[in-house]
Structure 1
Amino acid sequence: MATAPTAATFAKALRSEGATVVEVGNWATHNRNHKGPWGPVHGVMIHHTVTKGTATTVRMCKDGHSALPGPLCHGVIAKDGTVHLVGYGRANHAGLGDPDVLAAVIAERKPPADNEATVDGNRHFYGFECENLGDNKDPWPPEQIEAIVRVVTAICRHHKWGARSALRHLDWQPGKVDPRGPGMDWDDVLARVTKRLAGDKPAPQPAAPAPKPLPKPAKPVVDLSRLVAAARSNPAAKGTPVTYSGVRTVEAALVDAGLLAKKYSDGHYGTTTVTAYAAWQRSKAGGGYRGKDADGIPGKASLKRLGDRYGFTIVD
């Protein structure tokens, strides 16, 4: 567990490790922190962009696109090895991933196969996008691989982490394949990071290194759009109701608020849950809504209030 350094210290650490760094626009304050926390940080994640051309790639990673707002990472590693810093703070790069993988990164051991996506990776990882088409044909030049090694080493050195605090996107989220292609040998990258960490600043070997602490259990994440879909379909009982696991999270919060009997916390957003959520909307803690604004269908503001009080976060 670690607190990210200031943007200036972050850039200095990269340069101190020999990386060629370009600071792009307002990168130091460009982030998605209004959508949720960034930190504690536990590792650094490497991606490929599926793009061609450094200027286009850097612009996209800084600004994002219609489906995903920027920044999409903290830095872009170009083909020539230049590191373009485009954001600092929470960035849209990792998405939801496997809690067992997070535990392995914290313990600095080889991650298991990822098979679920329930933990907010944008909160816990530095992210670097590497310019590559991702077609398993586009090569990774030696200069780009060396820059990856130096970036990972710089961050690990700052936080006193080992090389296993680095991971690939494909290690984190089911269905992802990045980074891949000719010249990308992840085991070699980790070996080179380990060598740099050990060789540049040798230190006596401790008799019994203290393990990194396990993370506190991550807060559940509730997707607002999926929750609303479930809320609108189930009470109507027309056709097949929409199911969503986040309903149980919300129902558990309503139970804790004393608005829903525990026996109705069943994952079905039926009329009883609608009535309980409407009571939350009308309550002072839920926002004091009235009329159509207290219809029992979750809105962003009332759901955030519920999550802040009863221990879950929302995405929309």
Structure 2
Amino acid sequence: MATPLSASRLLAAIKAEGCKVVEYKSWRTHNRNHKGPWGPVYGVMIHHTVTSGTDSSVALCYNGHSSLPGPLCHTVGAKNGTLYMVGNGRANHAGAGDDDVLRAVIDERALPADNEANTDGNRYFYGIELINLGNGRDPWPEPQLDAAARWAAAICRAHGWNERSVIGHLEWQPGKVDPRGFTMSSFRSRVKALLSRPPGQDNTAPEDDVPLYLSLGMHKEFTMVPGTWYSVAWDQEWSDPLKHHAAGGRTFATNCQYNGVASIRVRGLTPGRELQARIVEDDASGDTVQHHPIGETAGTAGSTFLAFPFSGKARKDRKIKLQIAHYGEEPVTVEKSYLKAQVWPN
């Protein structure tokens, strides 16, 4: 059992963890305490907003809306890593959840599946809303994830909790999917790494089991003729912690282990014909020396979408690229591609 932190102690703890913090309006006295008790507190909960834009998202989380008054959390995490304090006390973020999950959080042990909604979570959990559309395609920049982990670590450190006091909304209430786009296991690993160090210490060199996040995109359309392999040129870069990608370049990894998913959308593929993707390795001279297994999907009417999971280990003398090909009857247009991966430096 833990007594909730005062506004001043909460703010001090988050700042001490190395976060950039903005105090929004009257956050110190903004709460829903008149609707029920606040505390004892047992953990922190991670959400995504299903919105875009910092100003509008922060205002929404502070004010709420007609069916759910604010505050909708205690803190809002922007994509640039800035944290906005919007509430202190009971907040409308957790809703009803599973009492078995709550007991596991209290005991700091592995979580059971959430299959009930019988317990008031707004009483027991601090909450952060991370600005993201939650569609699986909106990127998660490294500064945003790092700040969110530091926010969670700050509260855990202040209460003497470990990383198992950190849960996602999807682990609390049946039917919820947030946060979507990273796993809570990887997020708790970030918190664990932070708690193993003094507060505020730089986290650019994490423990071996803590992955870094790579996020690239291709927004410039191009044409593919049938039967030819094309290396994707990534013209968007949201997160590249290992600095293995040059803007507009095709290489995305070297000298690391990786595990990720590439999403490819093409227009004009003959229905029933194949769209394929593979990982290839180039040597130092730029020659392709190894092909990885191929992923495949069949063309559909309209746009065809292929989600291609991949994993492997790249040597320091190899560079990794994504290649795609199709076997339709006419040239097709590649509309967009996204690559998101966890990477561990060798």
Whole-angstrom distance in 1 between the partners of 2:116 and 2:190: 30
Whole-angstrom distance in 1 between the partners of 2:184 and 2:96: 22
Structure 2's unaligned 5+ residue stretches are 200-346
* Count of aligned pairs: 199
RMSD of aligned Cα (Å): 0.9
- Measured against aligned partners, the alpha-carbon deviations of 1:27-83 in whole angstroms (never above 9, x if no partner) come to 000000000000000000000000010000000000000110000000000111110
TM-score, with length taken from structure 2: 0.57
Whole-angstrom distance in 1 between the partners of 2:10 and 2:40: 15
Structure 1 equivalent of residue 334 of structure 2: none
Higher strand share: 2
Structure 1 equivalent of residue 268 of structure 2: none
Whole-angstrom distance in 2 between the partners of 1:164 and 1:148: 15
Displacement after TM superposition at 1:189 (Å): 1.7
Structure 2 equivalent of residue 174 of structure 1: 174
Higher helix share: 1
Structure 1 equivalent of residue 120 of structure 2: 120
1:101 aligns with 2:111: no
1:38 aligns with 2:61: no
- Measured against aligned partners, the alpha-carbon deviations of 1:221-270 in whole angstroms (never above 9, x if no partner) come to xxxxxxxxxxxxxxxxxxxxxxxxxxxxxxxxxxxxxxxxxxxxxxxxxx
Whole-angstrom distance in 2 between the partners of 1:170 and 1:35: 24
Deviates more, 1:186-195 or 1:47-56: 186-195
SS in 2 for 1:199: coil
SS in 2 for 1:154: helix
- Measured against aligned partners, the alpha-carbon deviations of 1:85-126 in whole angstroms (never above 9, x if no partner) come to 001000000000000000010111121110000100000000
Percent identical: 59
Whole-angstrom distance in 1 between the partners of 2:194 and 2:86: 26
Structure 2 equivalent of residue 64 of structure 1: 64
- Measured against aligned partners, the alpha-carbon deviations of 1:269-313 in whole angstroms (never above 9, x if no partner) come to xxxxxxxxxxxxxxxxxxxxxxxxxxxxxxxxxxxxxxxxxxxxx
SS in 2 for 1:15: helix
Runs of 4+ in 1 over 4 A off after TM superposition: none
Whole-angstrom distance in 1 between the partners of 2:58 and 2:110: 31
SS in 2 for 1:56: helix
Structure 1 equivalent of residue 149 of structure 2: 149
1:158 aligns with 2:158: yes
- Measured against aligned partners, the alpha-carbon deviations of 1:103-153 in whole angstroms (never above 9, x if no partner) come to 010111121110000100000000000000011111110001101110011
SS in 1 for 2:137: coil
Whole-angstrom distance in 2 between the partners of 1:31 and 1:129: 15
Structure 2 equivalent of residue 196 of structure 1: 194
